[in-house]
Amino acid sequence: MQPDAPQHDRIPEIALDWHRSGKGAALATVIETWGSAPRQPGSQLAISGEGEIMGSVSGGCVEGAVVVEALETLADGTPRVLTFGVTDETAFSVGLACGGTIRVLVEPIGKGMPEAMLAAVVEARAARKPLAYGVTVEGWARRLLGPSDLPERFRADRSGMEETGEFIALFNPPLRMLIVGAVHIAQALVPMAKLAGYDPVLIDPRDAFASEGRFPGTVIRHDWPDEGLLAEGLDARTAVVTLTHDTKLDDPAIVAALGSEVFYLGCLGSTRTHAKRLERLRAAGITEAQIARIHAPVGLDIGAKTPAEIAVSVLAQVTQVLRQA
């Protein structure tokens, strides 16, 4: 996890800090939803013993009630499951304006969720290692799991209840987008990627193009693209986009990406340009199965013309591959 990640993306880290500082902390996690719930399973809210909060489990309509329950949980050390919804007469008086229903698990750190387990989650996030926390709401058995235990959940990035009654909270590494080529499209794509929750990294050996002036506040690597990609690390939470039009830069990057588990590889260029690219890749020993992973011409076909419109089409396609694969 990048050290400058927004506070609202550091819920486990903040909860652990509060707990270790002596304030006490509880984690509230959405475990199930019905209807038009504003937050998905796995969404979290950290609450300190002093009533401080970070994160959310709804659009703001139930947080007050969750904080009250969290403080009581810290006092008695007992986890609990809360239900909120406008259609349930037995639920709390607080309803969801959108008409949905949610169940929220509230656990005190220490007496509920073990400090060691939360620390393991924080360490895994810092090391970009996928990890999941499983808790059975009947009996409160807890365990940590990896991708080999729940491969489909990790690939879909989907927290939720198992049929066994165990809730699985996924802590996948943050999404990254490695962009090869400091061109006009990249100037639009970098800020869009940040807004969509990606940690973007720009790779281009050309100092005049990849400059702080053109890409303020952006992580820039002036390495040769394949070297830069390998130095950053290529994993299943990474998207790679090549934009240079220069075969000397794009081709090595494409080969490096195809030798990894990146979930998306998109390459700028016309149909004719891509056909010539494929000839070179086949000559370099790239298999047809690998070639099938390339999205080119890059982006969804929405008739994009301007650099910003092309960036929108690229981000839309990356999202489609991530969520619908």
For 70-107, what is each residue's pLDDT tens digit? Answer: 999 999 999 999 998 755 443 344 444 555 788 999 99
Task: Kindly state the average pLDDT of the residues 61-67.
Answer: 87
Distance CA 83, CA 90 (A): 9
> Which pLDDT belongs to residue 90?
36
Length, in residues, of the chain: 325
**Cα distances (angstroms) measured from residue 80 to each of 74, 89, 173, 237:** 11, 19, 28, 33
pLDDT in tens, 239-249: 999 999 899 99
Q: How confident is the model at residue 5 (pLDDT cuts 50, 70, 90)?
A: low
Quick one: average pLDDT of 113-117? 97
Q: How far apart are CA 19 and CA 77, in angstroms?
A: 13
Domain residues of the chain, as ranges? Answer: 7-171, 175-324
What would the mean pLDDT of 309-325 be, rounded to a whole number? 93
Domain 175-324: CATH architecture, name and number where available: 3-Layer(aba) Sandwich (3.40)
